Structure 1
Amino acid sequence: MELTYLKTFREVAKCGSYTRAAESLGYAQSSITSQIQKLEEAYGAVLLERFGRGMKLTMAGEALLQYANDIYRLHEESKEVVAKQAKGTLSIGTIETLAAFYLPPHLQAYRREYPDVNIVIQPANEPFIIESVKEGELDIGIILDPPFTDPELHSSILREEPLVIIVNPDHKLKGQNEVHAHNLENESLILTEEGCTYRAMLLKVLKGNQVSFSLSYEFGNLEAIKQCVIYGLGVALVPRITVAEEVRKGQLIAIPFVHPECRFYTQLIYAKKKWKSNAFNGFVELLSGGSGFNYRNE
């Protein structure tokens, strides 16, 4: 059986559609259909069934997908071994904040050491990143969370990321040295999208302290959040690293948000069963180097 058929099967399972899988792989849709049919003939089972406008895995398909993922992973590992572990692709899942404000200098340093490694950054929310790392769809995840543990994953803290309430320079909180939950009474909040861990923490803290607030806007884009705060449309909770430039220019004021639950850390995660190439280890060591934390979940 050709490895190509299993790769196509994985892509259809991921996309939930023959059409989108064909677009992703650069095949004609008829080729996708033919490959899946040959795979079903080889296994003597229906692997996919139509569900609404898309395709859904059958029980047989669910079982095969696990093996297909392992086979594809082993194939990629074998290619890298043959290439002396200096080439290949490293897939990294992370949130927008860290992709934009934390990773770039590390990627630059890594490129100098491993110029032939192709790095693919997958921006996503943390539940997606964690699940994708577990499933082997991502090599590495970089998340922003309280200390994270999972029996299937290795995790290590890279550094603490202070969170701040950002306000317009004319806002009434501008003179505060720190912000507590009660200081946000009746404030208009501008929030990140659902799935963001520090958004969930803020809402939990406010509700737990019975603080009244209004939800003005929700954005999946930090730049939009910052611009709305600059224009006085509300206040927002963001990592301090994301607003350094605006604070320097006097466009925003950043005030530490103080609460026992407001301790967030940039953390690196990968599957414990993950095969570790030289290029993989080089990236992990680069990010872990100089960390002031000893916390690890082995």
Structure 2
Amino acid sequence: MELTYLRTFCEVVSSGSYTRAAEKLGYAQSSVTAQVAKLEEMYGAILLERSGRGMIPTFAGNNLLPYARQMLALSEEAKGMIAGGDRGVLNIGAIETLAAYYLPHRLHRYRLRYPEVQLRVQPGSEEGIITAVKDKSADFGLIFDVTYRSDEIIALPLRQEPLYVVTHPEHRLAKETEVTSNQLADEPLVLTEDTCTYRKQLLQELKAAGIAPRIDMEFGNLEGIKQAVRHQWGTAFLPRYAIEEELNTGVLTGIPLTGKQEKFYIQLIYRKERMLSPAFEHFIAEMRQ
């Protein structure tokens, strides 16, 4: 029964509302309120409070939250192992580019083999994905970075991926075989958010060359960046997998940046102590295809 209460508590925190949590869980709102009240009675503390943004966890609620998520994750893990791993929920954290361009057809193949497994893809920043894997709110994570190392996490490199300076086909740099940092001086840049690992790579290269970057636009999604380049509003810096279709059709041009940048890899991460059911092992194999 406690797991049910914990699941309800986590859903209220995620949705910020008793009403939305009730809709998501298929309960009456009064049932959600009663379950939270029983949980508060069990732990002897107020766990949720109302604010201008809806229901938020109290200090005690914030302390309970990671433990609640871990208990729920362990419960799902145990169910999966006992059932042979062919049913249940598979939570995957992924940066936005990989969620959009790397995962879909691989998840489609996986679903053909395991139709009873419910797939939940949680887009986020690399830092957030690593945290989610560590606190067990995500079973696997997909990141794009230099080789990740951790005592707690296994990081499987799936494939190396080049990074390109991306321009309109009529741009002055489009015919170049390589682009130097100096050629990007005063170039209007259209970049991803500042938590993006490959954006940091570009800015480090420019800084090393003594160039102050001219960042004209920032987008939180790849389509916005690509549309900006197509309208000739600026130049981008993106991994090849995100512009594969545009390169093949000639809509955009991708040129390598000169220098000895660190190699970037698509990586699958999961906890070292994670017990792998047959379904999870097949998921890993599918990601490596």
Corresponding residue of 1:166: 166
Corresponding residue of 1:294: none
CA apart distance, 1:264: 1.0
Query: Residues of 2 paired with 1:53 and 1:108: CA distance?
Result: 37
Corresponding residue of 1:10: 10
Corresponding residue of 1:106: 106
The structure 1 segments of at least 4 consecutive aligned residues displaced by more than 4 Å after TM superposition are: none
Confirm or deny: 8 A CA contact 2:91 2:121 kept in the other structure. yes
Change (3 A) 1:194 1:15: farther
Change (3 A) 1:80 1:213: closer
Structure 2 letter corresponding to 1:78: A
Change (3 A) 1:212 1:74: closer
Change (3 A) 1:241 1:28: same
CA apart distance, 1:63: 4.0
CA apart distance, 1:19: 4.5
Matches within 5 A, 1:1-298: 1-288=1-288
Structure 1 letter corresponding to 2:9: F
Structure 2: 5+ residue stretches without partners: none
CA apart distance, 1:182: 1.5
Structure 1: 5+ residue stretches without partners: 290-298
Confirm or deny: 8 A CA contact 1:163 1:262 kept in the other structure. no
Change (3 A) 1:56 1:227: closer
TM-score by length of 1: 0.87
Corresponding residue of 1:293: none
Change (3 A) 1:263 1:81: closer
Query: Residues of 2 paired with 1:255 and 1:106: CA distance?
Result: 28
Change (3 A) 1:251 1:73: closer
Query: Residues of 2 paired with 1:69 and 1:223: CA distance?
Result: 33
Structure 1 letter corresponding to 2:95: I
Aligned pairs, how many? 289
TM-score by length of 2: 0.90
Confirm or deny: 8 A CA contact 2:85 2:278 kept in the other structure. yes
Query: Residues of 2 paired with 1:67 and 1:233: CA distance?
Result: 47
SS of the residue corresponding to residue 138 of structure 2 reads coil
Query: Residues of 2 paired with 1:74 and 1:214: CA distance?
Result: 47
SS of the residue corresponding to residue 115 of structure 2 reads coil
Change (3 A) 1:157 1:28: same
Change (3 A) 1:254 1:59: same
SS of the residue corresponding to residue 99 of structure 1 reads helix
Query: Residues of 2 paired with 1:250 and 1:286: CA distance?
Result: 30
Query: Residues of 2 paired with 1:263 and 1:272: CA distance?
Result: 24
Change (3 A) 1:144 1:276: same
Confirm or deny: 8 A CA contact 2:125 2:195 kept in the other structure. yes
CA apart distance, 1:16: 4.5
Structure 2 letter corresponding to 1:266: I
SS of the residue corresponding to residue 111 of structure 2 reads helix
CA apart distance, 1:207: 2.7
Query: What CA RMSD, in Å, does the superposition of the two structures yield over aligned residues?
Result: 2.2
